[in-house]
Every structure is written in structure tokens, then in C-alpha cells.
Structure 1
Amino acid sequence: MKFVIVLLAVIALASARPEVEIIKSESDVQPDHYSFDMETSDGTSRHEEGVVKDADSEHPALVVHGSYTYKDEHDGKEYSVSYVADEYGFQPTGEHIPKLPAIEH
């Protein structure tokens, strides 16, 4: 009996979630850089660009700049995050993210 109740609850939950579709997807991939943009029907979007820094040196590094936006399904707020990922690590910024100490380059 417990199995039937759990099964019915899972089916009800799965059927209540709306389908999310990709409404935009673009990308450009080259040997020394890439970029992509995507958006989904639930309002989520993401953009990212990456470039190889010092490609001809002994220590090439990938430098990534990007952003994403999503709507929280619990509180209904829209959140946006911008970021850089490089030799200093992943560095996100957004109104809801605590400020980190500045990294001196």
C-alpha cells in the first residue's frame, strides 16, 4: 500500500512540473576561443565566452567571462550572476552574493 501511495505522489509531482524548452541556442567554437548563448522557456538564460590567454607560452590559461539569469521557483525572484573564471579562480558577482575581497592582479 505504501508503494502505491508513493508511486501516485511521484506521478502527481512529475505531471505538475511544466516542460522547459530551449528557445535559443547559439555557439561558436574555435581553437583559441568559444562563446555560447542559450535561453529556456522558463526564463533561464546563459551567456559565456572563453579565450585562451598566452596560447603560445608554456602556461596557457583559459579565461572565461559569463553570466546567467534564472527565476527561483520558491520565491519567484529573478537572480542574475556575472562571473570571471581565470588563473585566480571562479569569481561570481550578483546582488544576492556577498562581496569578496578584491584580488590584486
Structure 2
Amino acid sequence: MKVIICVALLIAVTHAAPQYNPDAVTHAAPQYNPDGSATILRNELNFLSPSSYIYSYETSNGIAAQEQGHLNNEGRADEALSVRGQYSYVGTDGKTYNVFYVADENGFQPQSAQLSRH
């Protein structure tokens, strides 16, 4: 009797397992991504000295950025990169957003009229 119960349970467990069903697989529909086809209009990088640089770029979808950086206290224990820059992009609402920033030993400090202040 125990053997019959064990066999019945084994059959029930194997039939209750999820079955492979290739028709049940769903895929998300492809979404239009205007940034996916953006082209680079301008891209510049210049090393002004061994410890400083400036770069800028602009893309066809309205993204632009520029930055300059300098290594302060080069070779010392308190060596730190100091960076100033800005970037802009067009939001989903069609508005252009501009962000100006400083990044140094005090961290990343963005400023923008569109950024909320906490």
C-alpha cells in the first residue's frame, strides 16, 4: 500500500511541475528611441599640460557638454582633481536643461535652475 501511495505522489509531483510552453513567452514591443540614432556633431579633447585638460562635445539630439580639469598639488599626498563644467540636454517635455558643476575634493556640486534644492 505504501508503495502505491509513493508512486502516486511521485506521478502527481512530476505532472504538477511547470511545463515548457514556447507560446507563453512574451517579448516587449520595440520602443522608439530618438537617442539611439543621435550623431556626434562635435567632439574635442585637448590636453593643455600634463596635468590639465579641456573637452567638449555636441550631439544631434541636443545634448552638449564641456569641461575643464586641473590636477592640484600634483605628486603630494593632498593631490586632487579640480573640475568645472556644464552640460545640457532636451528633456521629454521639450525644454532644454542646463547644469553647471564643480567637482573637486569637496565632491560633485551641480547647480541648475531646474534642480530642486533640499
| TM value normalised by structure 2 | 0.70
Alignment of 1:86 with 2:104, yes or no, is: yes
Query: Aligned partners of 2:90, 2:24: CA distance in 1, in Å?
Result: 35
C-alpha change, 1:86 and 1:76, in structure 2 (3 Å) is same
The corresponding residue for 2:84 is 65
Give the superposed CA RMSD.
1.9
User: Which one-letter code corresponds to 2:57 in the other structure?
Assistant: M
1:48-63 correspondence runs (5 A): 48-63=67-82
Where does 1:1-105 land on structure 2 (aligned, <5 Å)? 1=23, 3=25, 6=27, 9-10=29-30, 13=31, 16-18=32-34, 19-29=37-47, 30-72=49-91, 74-99=92-117
One-letter amino acid matched to 1:20: A
Q: Give the C-alpha shift of residue 50 in structure 1.
A: 0.6
Q: Which structure 1 residue ranges, 5 or more long, are not aligned?
A: 101-105
Say which structure is richer in helix.
Answer: 2
Q: Is the 8 A contact 1:51 1:64 kept in 2?
A: yes
TM-score under structure 1 normalisation?
A: 0.77
Larger Rg, first or second structure (1 or 2): 2
Q: Which runs of 4+ in 1 moved over 2 A?
A: none
Q: What is the aligned partner in structure 2 of residue 103 from structure 1?
A: none
Unmatched runs of 5 consecutive residues or more in structure 2: 1-22
Identity, % of aligned positions: 34
